[in-house]
């Protein structure tokens, strides 16, 4: 084997190892999933508790589960609530229902964050609803929920609005925060009593 071919083989192995190392670091440190983006770091969810089963039929808003959130060191950094809504605001004619699926994360400093898992509402409003969530539901103190408005996302040409969808999002986040506060109060009452 000539020196040039040997250098090519060595460089190929070096690039392969560097690429694999990058992929490993990227997949374990960079927040990619909605649960990770809630807290801006890769997290592990554990201790899932089902609060309410998801209904099979009809329109609903549902607080489904709660889980503890741990960072990569194993320290608890908060809780995550999984909430769902199903309504009649369909994205395409093939849909039976419109869907909103969110993760509501609350850290140990009572700051709340919301990430979208699935958003299938009337297609002209999906981007505006995403913007609404990103503007109002990132890092707010849970006591400030009452001041977050239900925004009337509108398409003036169509003469329609999406305030029902933003109202549903506000309701879902409110359900999660109320459950968090009830659980926190119950634990502190038990500790004091």
Residue 21 pLDDT level (bands cut at 50, 70, 90): confident
Task: Read off the tokens for 83.
Answer: 């909430």
Assign 31 to helix, strand or coil.
Answer: coil
Interatomic CA distance for residues 57 and 69, integer angstroms: 31
Residue holding tokens 């990770």?
36
Residue holding tokens 């003469």?
159
Length of the chain measured in residues: 193
DSSP conformation class of 53: P
What integer pLDDT is reported at residue 172 of this predicted model?
95
What integer pLDDT is reported at residue 193 of this predicted model?
42
Average pLDDT over residues 131-145: 93
Residues 6+ apart with CB under 8 A from 141: 110, 111, 112
DSSP conformation class of 144: G
Residue 107 pLDDT level (bands cut at 50, 70, 90): very high
DSSP conformation class of 145: G
Task: Tell me which of 128 and 156 has the higher pLDDT.
Answer: 128
- 95-99, 121-125, 131-135, 178-182: the lowest-pLDDT one: 121-125
Residue 113 pLDDT level (bands cut at 50, 70, 90): very high
φ, ψ of residue 103 to 5 degrees: the values are -110, 130
In 30-158, where does DSSP find H-type helix? 34-39, 126-136
pLDDT tens per residue, range 148-193 = 988 887 655 544 567 888 889 999 999 999 999 987 665 444 444 4
What integer pLDDT is reported at residue 185 of this predicted model?
60
Residue 85 has pLDDT above 60, yes or no: yes
Q: Where would I find the beta strands (DSSP E) of 16-162?
A: 44-50, 60-70, 76-87, 98-107, 111-120, 138-141, 154-155, 160-161
């Amino acid at each position: 084997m000539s020196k040039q071919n040997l250098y090519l083989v060595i460089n190929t192995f070096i690039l392969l190892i560097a690429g694999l190392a990058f992929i490993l670091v990227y997949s374990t440190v960079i927040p990619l999933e909605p649960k990770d983006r809630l807290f801006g770091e890769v997290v592990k969810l554990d201790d899932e508790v089902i609060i309410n089963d998801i209904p099979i039929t009809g329109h609903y808003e549902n607080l489904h589960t709660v889980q503890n959130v741990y960072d990569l060191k194993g320290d608890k950094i908060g809780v995550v609530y999984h909430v769902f809504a199903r309504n009649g605001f369909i994205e395409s004619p093939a849909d039976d229902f419109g869907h909103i699926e969110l993760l509501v994360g609350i850290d140990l400093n009572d700051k709340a964050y919301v990430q979208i898992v699935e958003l299938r509402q009337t297609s002209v409003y999906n981007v505006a609803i995403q913007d609404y969530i990103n503007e109002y539901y990132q890092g707010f103190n849970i006591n400030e929920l009452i001041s977050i408005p239900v925004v009337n996302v509108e398409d003036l040409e169509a003469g329609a609005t999406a305030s029902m969808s933003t109202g549903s999002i506000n309701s879902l986040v409110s359900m999660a925060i109320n459950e968090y506060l009830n659980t926190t109060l119950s634990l502190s009452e038990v500790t004091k009593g």
